[in-house]
Amino acid sequence: MKYIVVSEANEASRNIGKFIDAMKLRAYVKIIKTKNNVLDLENDLKGIKDAEVIIVASTHKSEAGVPMLNAHFTGNFRDDVSHGGSAKTLAIAPALYQRAAVIKYAKLQKEDTRLKNYKVGIEATHHGPTLDLPILFVEVGSTEEQWNDLVACEAAARVIYKLVSTAPEKAPVVIGFGGGHYCPQFTKKLFRDGFAFGHVCPKYAADDLSEDVIMQLVNKTIPKPEKVLVEWKGLASGQRENITSVLNKHNIKWEKI
């Protein structure tokens, strides 16, 4: 079963949901409508056992206010749970679905000049919920202006429709360590080299990563990653040493980029 979550408490989600309501979705797609914050969906998703993917329609927020059409997975690398979820816990990252989402966003952007000012890409893993379920956020950002841009919200709805109506294309699955929150190097490799990224841990969250959390990036990405990409200059030397020592201990293939 594929699930779509629409939150009445989330401005972009509410607008995206209006377009989803107008679409003819198949019987094996279930829409969950909630008044809860998208970061706190534990009660809404509790008891789900058959999810191939759960897609959450959401706002993207940033202080820079850059218009964005993006997708990302959820989880907390550290003890901070101020944005939902559990400490040092990741949800499951369905890598092929994230790749399909941003590729569809890029296609829609090429087709509609009204979307030309939006930046399309993936984000590093962040915030809740952190249930042991395959969860993907499909977002419109970064300010109220974009959350109420019905052209962008319709694009998000069309991305979501694509994800629930067709199986994502196969691609080599990888995970990433390093770089910034918006994953510019990894996003380039997604579009240029055809990689599907699972969890990505950025530099700002990579201090003192536990072995368990490092292995969660690998083990909670589906399908199983073929290798790990380490953005060498996008990490401090101590971060690189910690991450690669754990990967070597578990005989996990990695390469620096």
Q: How far apart are CA 33 and CA 7, in angstroms?
A: 6
Mean pLDDT along residues 175-185? 97
Percent of the chain predicted with pLDDT > 70: 100
Domain boundary at 114, 147, 165, which? Answer: 165
Instruction: Give residue 189's domain range.
Output: 173-256
Predicted confidence at residue 225, as pLDDT, reads 98
How many structural domains compose the chain?
2
Confirm if 102 and 119 have CB atoms less than 8 A apart: no
Question: Do 91 and 185 share a domain, yes or no?
Answer: no
Do residues 6 and 51 both lie within one domain? Answer: yes
pLDDT computed for residue 64 by the predictor: 86
Residue that finishes a domain, picked among 165, 188, 207: 165
Same-domain pairing of 124 and 198: no
Distance separating alpha carbons of residues 142 and 243, to the nearest angstrom: 31
pLDDT digit string, tens, across residues 226-250: 999 999 999 999 999 999 999 999 9
Cβ(5)–Cβ(54) under 8 Å?
A: yes
Query: Are both 28 and 114 inside the same structural domain?
Result: yes
Give the tens place of pLDDT for each residue, 187-228.
999 999 999 999 999 999 999 999 999 999 999 999 999 999
Tell me: do 179 and 151 sit in the same domain.
Answer: no
Banded pLDDT at 43 (limits 50, 70, 90): very high
Both tokens assigned to 38 = 């998208």
The residue type found at 195 is F
Residues 177 and 240 in one domain: yes
Sequence-distant (≥ 6) Cβ neighbours of residue 81 within 8 angstroms? 87, 128
Cα–Cα distance, 257 to 227 (Å, whole number) = 12
| pTM, two decimal places | 0.97
In the block, which residue shows the tokens 């997975």?
Answer: 73
Q: Kindly tell me if the per-residue pLDDT of 28 is higher than 90.
A: no
Asked whether residue 98 carries a pLDDT value surpassing 90, the answer given is yes
Same domain? 151 vs 63? yes
67's CB contacts (< 8 A; 6+ apart) are 117, 118, 119, 141, 142, 146, 152
CATH assignment of the domain containing 200: 3.40.50.10700
Residues 217, 135 within the same domain: no
Question: Could you say which of 109, 130, 165 is where a domain stops?
Answer: 165
pLDDT tens digits, one per residue of 45-63: 999 999 999 999 999 999 8
Q: Which of 96, 45, 50 is nearest to 73 (CA)?
A: 96
| 13 and 124 share one domain | yes
**54 half-sphere exposure, CB direction, 13 A CA radius:** 25
- CATH of residue 27: 3.40.630.50
Residues 200 and 237 occupy one common structural domain: yes
Across the range 18-40, mean pLDDT stands at 93
Q: Which helix (H) or strand (E) holds 7?
A: strand 2-7
Residues 102, 121 contacting (CB under 8 angstroms): yes
Task: Based on the fold, state whether residues 134 and 185 are members of the same structural domain.
Answer: no
Tokens of 226: 């073929």
Same domain, 237 and 177: yes
